[in-house]
């Protein structure tokens, strides 16, 4: 009997300790659920809208790479070259689709539209890249894009002797972009950024590849 009483007391203490921990665990789950709810509440689409800011002056923007090195800037369009059609293996025939730069030389035979930007147009491009940001900077932001990459437009930066210094390809179909180097990018990808770039291309006279049309059938035409 003497041995039984301590065992019962010990068992009661174990159960008491076990059930005493349940409210704490429940509180943690409730706090975590509230945290997730607040996160979802804070993540609003309008937080990611674009807005223009006078963050950098004209001189400061033009002093940034690649504008600081380029003597000319081109806006171009071309047909999406499709999967597996890389520049290699094209030695015996001229490519008909895609963007090709070989040893710093731009192959213009595949380009549909070529526009050399004026100083005013370059200035507007730097504003779009460097002075466009989220409307609500301190909030959480959306960034949507497709898994595909089917570029039909690019900005190309040339030296005084027409050597390609750098370029960035843009796919409006998939809301994707890809620079040829890791030295620069097209800035904050706020919600309307690709629409703004599409409008920019159209305004300088480059229409193919921009938003508002399906291009897959056009791409395969000879």
Q: What is the pLDDT of residues 128-176, one digit of tens each?
A: 999 999 987 765 545 555 679 999 999 999 999 999 999 999 999 999 9
Average pLDDT taken over every residue of the chain: 81
A 10 A CB-CB count for 113 gives 17
* pLDDT confidence of residue 143: 56
Mean pLDDT of 192-204: 97
* pLDDT confidence of residue 140: 55
* Reported confidence tier of residue 217, pLDDT bands at 50, 70, 90: confident
Measured between its terminal Cα atoms, the distance across the chain in Å is 100
A 10 A CB-CB count for 142 gives 15
Q: Of 212, 197, 210, 188, nearest to 124 (Cα)?
A: 197
* pLDDT confidence of residue 144: 57
User: With the C-alpha atoms ordered 98, 99, 101, 105, is the resulting torsion angle positive or negative?
Assistant: positive
Which contiguous run of DSSP H or E holds residue 72? strand 72-78
Say if residues 112 and 215 touch (Cβ distance below 8 Å).
no
* Reported confidence tier of residue 17, pLDDT bands at 50, 70, 90: very low
Residue 30 has pLDDT above 60, yes or no: no
- Two structure tokens written together for 113: 């539209």
Q: What is the pLDDT of residues 52-111, one digit of tens each?
A: 999 999 999 999 999 999 999 999 999 998 854 554 444 445 568 999 999 999 999 999
Q: Give the highest mean pLDDT range of 79-83, 123-127, 140-144, 184-188.
A: 123-127
Domain ranges of the chain: 1-42, 47-220
Strand 72-78 and strand 111-116: pairing? antiparallel
């Amino acid at each position: 009997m003497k041995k039984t009483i301590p065992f019962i007391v010990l068992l009661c203490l174990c159960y008491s300790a076990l059930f005493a921990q349940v409210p704490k665990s429940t509180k943690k789950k409730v706090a975590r659920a509230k945290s997730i709810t607040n996160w979802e509440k804070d993540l609003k689409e309008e937080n990611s809208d674009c807005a223009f800011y006078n963050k950098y002056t004209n001189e400061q923007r033009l002093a940034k790479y690649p504008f600081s090195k380029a003597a000319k800037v081109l806006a171009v369009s071309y047909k999406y070259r499709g999967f597996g059609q890389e520049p290699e293996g094209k030695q015996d025939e001229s490519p008909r689709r895609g963007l090709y730069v070989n040893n710093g030389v731009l192959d213009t035979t595949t380009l549909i539209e070529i526009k050399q930007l004026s100083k005013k147009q370059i200035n507007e491009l730097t504003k779009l890249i460097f002075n466009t940001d989220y409307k609500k900077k301190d909030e959480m932001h959306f960034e949507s894009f497709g898994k595909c990459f089917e570029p039909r437009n690019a900005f190309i930066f040339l030296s005084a002797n027409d050597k390609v210094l750098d370029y960035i390809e843009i796919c409006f179909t998939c809301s994707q972009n890809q620079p040829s180097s890791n030295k620069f990018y097209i800035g904050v990808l706020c919600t309307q950024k690709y629409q703004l770039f599409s409008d920019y291309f159209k305004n300088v006279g480059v229409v193919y590849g921009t938003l508002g049309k399906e291009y897959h059938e056009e791409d395969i035409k000879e």
